[in-house]
Amino acid sequence: MRRTGADEPVRFDTLSTNYINAPRQGIMNFVLFCLRINFRHAGRRAARCSVYSGTKSTPLFLVSRDFHILDMPTKQINTRLRGHLKILAPAKINIGLRVIRKRSDRYHDIETVFYPINLSDELEIEKSSKLEFFSNINLEADANLCLRALHFFCERTGIHAEVKMNLFKRIPIGGGLGGGSSDAAAVLLSLQEIYGMPLSEIELFDIATQLGADVSFFLKKIPSYATGKGEVIEPISYRIGSYILTVTPDLSVSTALAYSIVTPTGKHEPRLDELVLDSGADYSGYRDVIINDFEGPVFEKFPTIGQIKSEMYSHGAEFSLMSGSGSSVYGFFRTEADAAKALDSLCNSFTLRAGNITPPHAS
């Protein structure tokens, strides 16, 4: 984790530390909880941190080490103001992931359940006199799905869209949380809104599929059963009743690498969506039936990820699994305090790029 100078902000919503919803036990406990973790891991020279509440993805306020309120940001959740459109692009986790077969087009058929969590990137977009793109991290042009989404939208609609985009990244890259795909979907949805819905839903989903296997899921952002490459989406009535702790270690797993070392396991019965729906709230029962085929080969190559999963269980997780092809790991906890305690311990044991607690039924 980077060290910060006395004049630099230390924010929980950056990729350098953790993003967390603090326990809702009064405003002073918010402050104490955040300061206890953030200042300890940011170093003694850290000057301030951001305080979050519940499912909020923007900070309630910035607070200094001596408890002075420094700033109170405005709400920025899917709002449109004076031609500006702001939209949240949430991350997802995979409740199970089966790699069924390798296809002739070099992709793989998979089976999974996508579930959105409340860790989000934030996109601000507005019409402009020229195309501009800004982000809080460096994104290589070839890997920038936001610009590719804009290109496909213009190509399909014939609209010469000149917009200014500001992307604030919180979702770690290479963490198996779908951040790039979610950003691409956010661009498509924003352009649809700005330019008067020129695309049909079928056309929109067709563009999403061209951009990436899981982009179509982020157009709806609701729990879904996914097959094919991940682009065949079937919404399901599924809500997790526990607190979901998701952490990302300070390493990235290339999707291409993960697929090159995984062994397809063929088709399984029953389907994953049937397993999770039939299990109800018995999340401890997931351990024997909900698996991620990437875990074995990825844990062998990156032992730290497997160690984090073990730590989840040692701190009382009802269920834990790696998300996607890694490197993020999530765990279900009965209470927010249990999840927060586990995160605190994981911060002490590992270098983390991100951490998030999603309350029950927050999706």
Please give the residue range of the domain that contains residue 60: 1-74
Q: Say if residue 213 is in the same domain as residue 301.
A: no
Residue-by-residue DSSP string for 309-362: HHHHHHTT-SEEEE-TTSS-EEEEESSHHHHHHHHHHHHHHS-EEEEEEEPTT-
Q: Say if residue 186 is in the same domain as residue 125.
A: yes
For residues 286-291, give the mean pLDDT: 95
Q: Say if residue 161 is in the same domain as residue 181.
A: yes
Q: Phi and psi at residue 182, in whole multiples of 5°?
A: -65, -40
Catalytic residue of the set 92, 169, 221, 309: 92
Of 25, 59, 74, the position where a domain reaches its end is 74
- Per-residue pLDDT tens over the stretch 306-352: 999 999 999 999 999 999 999 999 999 999 999 999 999 999 999 99
Q: Which of 38, 85, 88 is nearest to 64 (CA)?
A: 38
Residue 263 lies in a domain: yes
What are the distances in angstroms from CA 218 to CA 8, 116, 148, 214, 233? 34, 9, 16, 7, 10
Residue 363 lies in a domain: no
Q: Say if residue 66 is in the same domain as residue 142.
A: no
- CA dihedral (251, 305, 15, 318) in degrees, to 10, reads 170
Known catalytic residue at 214: yes
- Per-residue pLDDT tens over the stretch 203-257: 999 999 999 999 999 999 999 999 999 999 999 999 999 999 999 999 999 999 9
Provide the number of structural domains found in the chain: 3
Of 176, 205, 235, the position where a domain reaches its end is 235
Sequence-separated (6 or more) residues with CB below 8 Å from residue 260: none
CATH of the domain at 344: 3.30.70.890
- Per-residue pLDDT tens over the stretch 10-54: 333 333 233 333 333 333 334 434 444 444 444 433 343 444 444
- Per-residue pLDDT tens over the stretch 93-111: 999 999 999 999 989 999 9
Catalytic residue of the set 214, 273, 293, 338: 214
Are the beta carbons of 113 and 96 closer than 8 angstroms?
yes
Q: Say if residue 231 is in the same domain as residue 110.
A: yes
Known catalytic residue at 92: yes
Q: Say if residue 213 is in the same domain as residue 86.
A: yes
Give the per-residue pLDDT at 362.
Answer: 54
Residue 57 lies in a domain: yes
